[in-house]
């Protein structure tokens, strides 16, 4: 495991007057660890973070020990988060886009279980977010304005809410966690293509989706919802498992989902053509696509998905991160994390 390196603000050590009149070093102020992806949004995240620091210190320095930790590559945020939790951090804040948030969320777990503090105290480390990346779809759930200082103000207020987390498992028994949306087939392939066009901002997903339609073929899938019977769904274009509402730069893909819920919203697109995507694009942003005849919405706590005829070609991703191919099982963990929001 890569050992996290904290760059802390230089704060004086407070002194505490003990009962016998001697002075001892007071327990340090609670740590808030900011996990920053400096290369996010083509380097914009690092630049915006530097601009934000004076305001952040103004709002938080009197109550917390501010710890910066910069990621150096893929999965580094996971390791930083695990170490911060074990060391008893008050909160771990993801600074960047949905990819950084995804890694920080995965850092709250290890070997299929929540990471525990080394001192075994019951107080839990909270999750926070300062959206500074290319995609910040999860932040839309809380109607934050396009100003990272609003996120800092939320951290200063310290209000916590229990949120659910999704779990993805496959044949290799490897476990992945997601906080926003996991998706299968065309939409997952579109997400992979979209990563090539991030310079176009929120339009990168639209470009990626249109590219994904080239050579695309719908597939028959089998689904098992909440450990019920297997059912076949024909000509599936895409399937989205929502713990939250938004993906793809603001598309309200699973409009009934909310991370405070104990259920996913599963939206299934069947026989959805490229011209459907264009003609109904406005509906995807408003969340009204679920009223159309070739779109189905299901509420579920778990869902297993496999191909009727296995091809090992059906893409799976979660929070925009590529995971591989079907089969997969998606399970919700209700109230798994405390989030500052």
Residues involved in catalysis: 98
**Which among 156, 190, 154, 199 is positioned nearest to 272, based on CA atoms?**
190
- For 98, the token pair is 């949905």
Sign of CA dihedral 233, 314, 41, 98: positive
Instruction: Report the DSSP beta bridge partners of residue 176.
Output: 168
Helix (H, G, I), strand (E, B) or coil at 196: helix
Range list of β-strands (E), 91-180: 91-96, 109-110, 113-114, 126-131, 160-170, 175-178
Distance CA 58, CA 63 (A): 10
Give residues with Cβ within 8 angstroms of 181, minimum separation 6: 137, 240, 241, 242, 243, 244, 246, 247, 253, 254, 257, 318, 319
- For 198, the token pair is 């991030």
Pairing of strands 295-300, 264-270: antiparallel
What is the phi/psi pair of residue 257, to 5°? -80, 150
Distance CA 258, CA 334 (A): 11
């Amino acid at each position: 495991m890569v050992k996290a390196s904290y760059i802390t603000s230089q704060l004086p050590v407070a002194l505490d007057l003990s009962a016998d009149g001697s002075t001892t070093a007071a327990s340090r102020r609670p740590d808030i660890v900011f996990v920053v992806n400096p290369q996010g949004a083509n380097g914009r995240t690092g630049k915006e973070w530097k601009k934000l620091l004076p305001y952040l210190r103004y709002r938080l320095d009197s109550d917390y020990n501010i710890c910066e930790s910069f990621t150096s590559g893929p999965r580094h945020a996971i390791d930083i988060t695990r170490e911060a939790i074990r060391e008893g951090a008050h909160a771990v804040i993801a600074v960047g886009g949905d990819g950084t948030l995804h890694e920080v969320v995965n850092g709250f777990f290890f070997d299929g279980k929540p990471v525990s503090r080394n001192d075994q105290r019951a107080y839990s480390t909270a999750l926070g977010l300062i959206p500074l990346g290319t995609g910040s779809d999860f932040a839309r759930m809380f109607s934050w304005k396009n100003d990272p200082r609003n996120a800092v103000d939320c951290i200063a207020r310290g209000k916590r809410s229990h949120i659910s987390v999704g779990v993805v498992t496959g044949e290799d028994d490897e476990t992945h966690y997601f906080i926003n949306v996991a998706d299968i087939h065309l939409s997952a392939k579109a997400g992979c293509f979209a990563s090539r066009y991030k310079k176009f901002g929120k339009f990168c997903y639209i470009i990626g989706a249109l590219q994904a339609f080239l050579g695309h073929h719908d597939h028959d899938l089998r689904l098992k919802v909440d450990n019920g019977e297997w059912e076949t769904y024909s000509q599936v274009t895409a399937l989205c498992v929502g713990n939250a509402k938004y993906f793809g730069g603001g598309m309200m893909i699973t409009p009934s989902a909310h991370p405070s819920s104990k259920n996913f919203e599963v939206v299934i697109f069947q026989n959805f053509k490229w011209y459907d995507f264009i003609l109904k694009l406005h509906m995807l942003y408003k969340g009204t696509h679920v009223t159309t005849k070739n779109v189905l919405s299901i509420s579920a706590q778990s869902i297993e998905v496999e191909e009727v005829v296995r091809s090992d070609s059906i893409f799976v991703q979660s929070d925009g991160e590529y995971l591989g191919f079907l089969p997969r099982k998606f399970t919700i963990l209700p109230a798994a994390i405390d989030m500052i929001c």
